[in-house]
A and B are shown apart, each in its own frame.
Chain A
């Protein structure tokens, strides 16, 4: 099961890398979203995918619980990446208004008054 998940996560990283290297800002943001999904799945996988109960103290069934720590970490990471993505989308919108383009080629240069 861990092997299958690792391959899936690898594919997600691949897609994310490809999207982040593209020209359109929206594709880049989609790429970062996929990247954070891949990372969150990686935490879950690395915590171990043994068959156990959901980490609630009074669930009946299998003898052992799943590791609760990675789930807490993922929850934290999801909220943080949600905040950052929301900020990034608004930033992209502002950049679109101001620079009249959503291509990253317009964001080149920093206009040092050096000449």
Chain B
């Protein structure tokens, strides 16, 4: 039964393999990809139930005892993130059918998407640091292909930069793993955690150096200050469904890796690494806010909103209290859902108006009021207005920050919500209200494009309204984060 935890990796993997056999049959590609994602959702929902009933499922591949084989660990946090990933995958695939275009679909678009999901799910579930590197590479290779697929000039330019940054990042990740291996002598996460705590008391200088090196690597993937410089340019290039996948998933894998590493290995680094993380996170929020309010381009505004969310989550992780951690997990899942939704909404707007700059059009409300109100609800959710999904996470984060007397951070998180709302309302008021300006193409399959958007939005609204019901799950996800011995026990089984 514990082999079930491999399903989130195996289902998209076999889906992708099968799709590579029939690259030119577009209808087959669409059907199989969609079926794969539905099966993935069902498997994940069952896994959530299973982990809720039985606690962490850990399986060490090939029947080797735990520290010697590769462990796949499904704790509640990983399973919840994998489930969110599959929901975003489903909606993005539905959206792709009507927007990505035949040429891309005929050149291995769907297999690439599924391979990226393999990498993302694997990164969430793995319990071995070198295996984490391999899954990162699976994810990144697929993302290079998705970024460049279509071969327009702007995509080529962006891919050159994105690829170079990630090659360097991966080299540093291997370097950090090599340094950690030379000190600890193991690659299994639970075992590393135990040995760092036992041998060194977690307080030697080299451990701090490695902690900062890992922060550098995962910060590069997640886009924190001062390592986010590649993100606005690269994310501007790909078509909307790919952008929704990237914005919803890729940076969040970096965030997840930081959460996992800092709660499991480096929770004792209170003298240097944790204050560094908290400072960088706060600066990230501030710079993200500056970017979000200074542009008039919808995609760029949303891309800077990714940075703000990454900053907020990492700030609350750096506090290392139970309350702040609960807030971080609430906010992480909310953010994946809402970013997916909003990128897709913006895609519909661009499909109708032809421009992504809100200076080029206005008065969209008179043509498509339903689109306007969809965007409005999504924007309020992003800013964290009470009944919607962003509220509870931010509330817990701010409470957590005030509880440990980190007033500066708490107030900056609060103020950032205001500016997020400002940047989103700028799009709403300039693009949707006012005199009708610009040419609107209305012969797009509007209703079909709105279905995936509304599915994601409905999930996100429900997540906000029924956050009381989500609480037991999130609570279970936080347990191993604040008490690593639960995780270690589940993997090493002592």
Query: Which applies to chain B's interface (DSSP): helix, strand, loop or mixed?
Result: helix
Q: A20-B168, A113-B360 are in contact. List 8 more A-B contacts (CB 8 A).
A: A42-B175, A69-B187, A83-B141, A95-B157, A98-B151, A110-B236, A113-B297, A114-B295
Q: Are B151 and A36 in contact (CB under 8 A)?
A: no
Q: Which 3 A-B pairs have the closest CB atoms?
A: A46-B182, A107-B157, A46-B178
Query: Which applies to chain A's interface (DSSP): helix, strand, loop or mixed?
Result: helix
Please, which residues of chain A bring their CB within 8 A of the CB of B157?
95, 99, 106-110
**Is B23 an interface residue, CB under 8 A from the partner?**
no
Q: Are B164 and A28 in contact (CB under 8 A)?
A: yes
Please, which residues of chain A bring their CB within 8 A of the CB of B296?
114
Q: Are B163 and A47 in contact (CB under 8 A)?
A: no
Q: Chain A 4-30 against B: per-residue CB contact (8 Å), 1 yes, 0 no?
A: 000000000000000010000100100
Q: How far is the CB of A22 from chain B (nearest CB, A)?
A: 12
Q: Chain B 163-180 against A: per-residue CB contact (8 Å), 1 yes, 0 no?
A: 110011011001101110
Of B47-55, B197-205, B351-359, B445-453, the stretch lying at the interface with chain A is B351-359
A36 to B164, CA, bound (A): 12
Nearest-CB residue, chain A, relative to B354: A113
Nearest-CB residue, chain A, relative to B160: A107
Q: Are B151 and A94 in contact (CB under 8 A)?
A: yes
Q: Are B233 and A110 in contact (CB under 8 A)?
A: yes
Q: Could you tell me how many residues of chain A have their Cβ less than 8 Å away from some Cβ of chain B?
A: 42
- Report the interface size class on chain B: 35 or more
Q: Are B130 and A76 in contact (CB under 8 A)?
A: yes
Instruction: Indicate whether A94 sits within 8 Å of B357 (C-beta atoms), given known contacts A32-B164, A112-B295, A112-B300.
Output: no
Q: Are B171 and A110 in contact (CB under 8 A)?
A: no
22 cross-chain CB contacts under 8 A:
A25-B160, A32-B168, A35-B168, A43-B174, A73-B130, A84-B170, A87-B141, A88-B164, A88-B167, A92-B160, A95-B160, A98-B151, A98-B156, A99-B156, A106-B157, A110-B233, A110-B237, A113-B355, A113-B356, A114-B295, A114-B300, A115-B357
Chain A residues within 8 Å of B, Cβ to Cβ: 20, 25, 28, 32, 35-36, 38-40, 42-43, 46-48, 69-70, 73, 76-77, 80-81, 83-84, 87-88, 91-92, 94-95, 98-99, 104, 106-115
A84 to B148, CA, bound (A): 14
From A77, A88, A115, B174 is in contact (CB under 8 Å) with A77
Q: How far is the CB of A87 from chain B (nearest CB, A)?
A: 6
A106 to B168, CA, bound (A): 21
From B167, B295, B357, A32 is in contact (CB under 8 Å) with B167
Please, which residues of chain B bring their CB within 8 A of the CB of A112?
236, 295, 297, 299-300, 356-357
Please, which residues of chain B bring their CB within 8 A of the CB of A40?
174
Please, which residues of chain A bring their CB within 8 A of the CB of B160?
25, 91-92, 95, 104, 107
Q: Are B163 and A39 in contact (CB under 8 A)?
A: no
A94 to B151, CA, bound (A): 8
Nearest-CB residue, chain A, relative to B179: A46
Q: Are A84 and B156 in contact (CB under 8 A)?
A: no
A40 to B133, CA, bound (A): 14
| Among A47, A87, A99: residue with most chain B CB under 10 A | A87
